[in-house]
């Protein structure tokens, strides 16, 4: 297993794939607060289901929130194409899902952190 050191100085754009359930989104807010403490000047965006966005739309620890529509077999490919345009340096994938991990792998985000398994880290 290849281990690379992360250079925090090089990270400018971060995205977080939020969980798919209301309670899990709420439980992830301490993570977001601590992420902002660790990266006070970097851009932090959230990627989440559209119906969950109102929960965090006034959350001051993130810069932007984008909806993800990854239904169907084309979903991960279409979502990855949209994510690729943002040129994120780092992604945190909170759902333990192969489909979510695949989307971020296809988006060519160089550093992906999530649950262990294929395509996550």
Report the pLDDT averaged over residues 91-116. Answer: 90
What tokens does 96 get?
A: 């333990």
Q: Is residue 119 part of a domain?
A: no
For the whole model, what pTM was predicted? Answer: 0.86
CATH code of 80's domain: 3.40.50.2000
Quick check: 104 and 17 in contact, CB under 8 A?
yes
Q: Is residue 63 part of a domain?
A: yes
Q: Is residue 58 part of a domain?
A: yes
Total domain count, the chain:
1
Give the model confidence (pLDDT) of 20-72 as tens digits: 999 999 999 999 999 999 999 999 999 999 999 999 999 999 999 999 877 77
Q: Is residue 85 part of a domain?
A: yes
Range(s) of the domain holding residue 90: 26-114
pLDDT of 118 higher than 70: no
Q: Is residue 4 part of a domain?
A: no
Q: Is residue 47 part of a domain?
A: yes
């Amino acid at each position: 297993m290849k281990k690379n050191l992360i250079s925090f100085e090089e990270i400018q754009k971060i995205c977080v794939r939020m969980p798919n359930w209301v309670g899990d989104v709420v439980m992830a807010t301490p993570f977001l607060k601590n992420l902002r403490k660790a990266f006070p000047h970097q851009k932090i965006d959230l990627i989440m289901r559209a119906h969950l966005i109102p929960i965090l739309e006034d959350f001051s620890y993130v810069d932007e929130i984008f909806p993800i529509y990854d239904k169907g077999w084309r979903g991960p490919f279409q979502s990855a194409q949209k994510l690729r345009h943002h040129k994120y340096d780092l992604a945190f994938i909170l759902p333990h899902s192969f489909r979510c991990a695949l989307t971020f792998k296809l988006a060519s985000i160089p550093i992906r952190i999530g649950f262990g398994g294929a395509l996550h880290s």
